[in-house]
Structure 1
Amino acid sequence: MTAGDERRRAVGARITRLRDQRGMSLSALAREARIGKGSLSELEAGQRNPTLDTLYAVAGPLGVPLTALLGEDTGTEGTSPHLAARLLHVEHHPDGSTTEVFWLHFTPGGVRESPAHGPGVVEHILVVSGHLVAGRTGEERSAGPGETLEWISDVPHTYRSGDDALAVLTIRSPAAPA
């Protein structure tokens, strides 16, 4: 078994465990995540390589941060068109909240549309190089090197870059529902 196979199976097992803990059927999660039931079944079985977009779509209805699905190993990577993300750190706070820190590389010309995350989730992005336009859909702002953007990400939001851009993203999620 390759490392990729192991990763897919681990992600699938996490999705299944969290779905079961919440008493959600496969159909209900697929519907709320707006992905096909067959696709979700293949993800849970470890037969499909999940994209960041799919993982975010599933994490939202489950009320968990992305790393609850991806795993918390430093260096874990996820990709979607025009974006590569590498996990740098996960911090679990005494109040039950979680902070995830990612290194992002945006390639030119793409728009990454992110679905809504859970209530109270806050994203903060520091642009290291290049330029980004990001934020809640319809409220995006631009930032260049050394500048930051922050928004509550409980609604769809986007990231867009006209050039190669590097950034550090922190996502602070409140305690997961019981």
Structure 2
Amino acid sequence: MDAASEGVAGPALAEGAADVGGRVRELRERRGMSLSELARRAAVGKATLSGLEAGTRNPTLDTLQAVAAALELPLTALLSPPPATLSGAAVQIQLLRVFDDGPVTYELYRMRVPTGLAQRSSAHQVGVTEHVTVFSGVLETGPVDDPLRAGPGEYVEWAADVPHTYAAPGPDDVLASLLIRYPRVAR
């Protein structure tokens, strides 16, 4: 779930995380990265990023994922405290738990994809994988060039360091769990 979405993305921060801009600025500066460099790496407009840092723009989930990938961090590292719900063009996720396990961080989400909607997400940083268990509906997800299909009770996983997609082509909304695995980058 990242920068390039099909459709119109709503605000990412449905609840909480009021100081995401300050957190992004702090993490960017800690890495010695200019605003222009982060905007380039995240493929986000410099004005958008500046507005995010200044607190004058409410970022989409797609923008937050792109910035997190450019900073080589899990999404939740940008959100202090993490909000209860994030929304993209098609995907709505609710953070359930963050697990730090040595060299790996896991984020566990409850996910909903309304029927008939699709979202294209840009690549996460190298080594990130996504794991989805579908509880209801039919989900098309995974690499844009080779999407996977899963129905109730089925599990799919893929390397999320390539553009990937989420779609609910069937008659029912998709309800699923999403586990994102981020390897910790040595600095």
Runs of 4+ in 1 over 3 A off after TM superposition: 3-6
Q: Does 1:142 align with 2:149?
A: yes
Q: CA RMSD in A?
A: 1.8
Residue type of the partner of 2:118? V
Taking the aligned partners of 2:135 and 2:148, their CA distance within structure 1 comes to 16
Structure 2 counterparts to residues 9-158 of structure 1, below 5 A:
10-71=19-80, 73=82, 76-93=84-101, 95-158=102-165
Percent identity between matched residues is 46
**Where does structure 2 lack aligned partners over 5 or more consecutive residues?**
1-12
Paired with 1:14 and 1:76, the residues of 2 have a C-alpha distance of 17
Compare relative contact order (CA 8 Å, sep 6+) and give the higher one, 1 or 2: 2
Change (3 A) 1:84 1:4: closer
Please give the alpha-carbon distance, in whole angstroms, between the structure 2 residues aligned to 1:111 and 1:12.
27
Q: Counterpart of 1:100 in structure 2: which amino acid?
A: E
Q: Given the two structures, how large is their TM-score scaled by the length of structure 2?
A: 0.86
Number of paired residues? 173
Q: Deviations over 1:111-150 (max 9, x none)?
A: 1111111111111000010010000111111000000110
Match of 1:169 among 159, 178, 187: 178
Report the secondary structure of 1:82's partner residue. Answer: coil
- The structure with the largest helix share of the pair is 1
Aligned residue type for 2:138: H
Structure 1 gap segments, 5+ residues each: none
In the superposition, the TM-score normalised over structure 1's length comes to 0.91
For residues 166 and 5 of structure 1, do their structure 2 counterparts lie closer, same or farther at Cα, with a shift above 3 Å needed?
Answer: closer
Matched to 2:74, the amino acid is P
Q: Matches of 2:132 and 2:81 in 1, distance apart?
A: 20
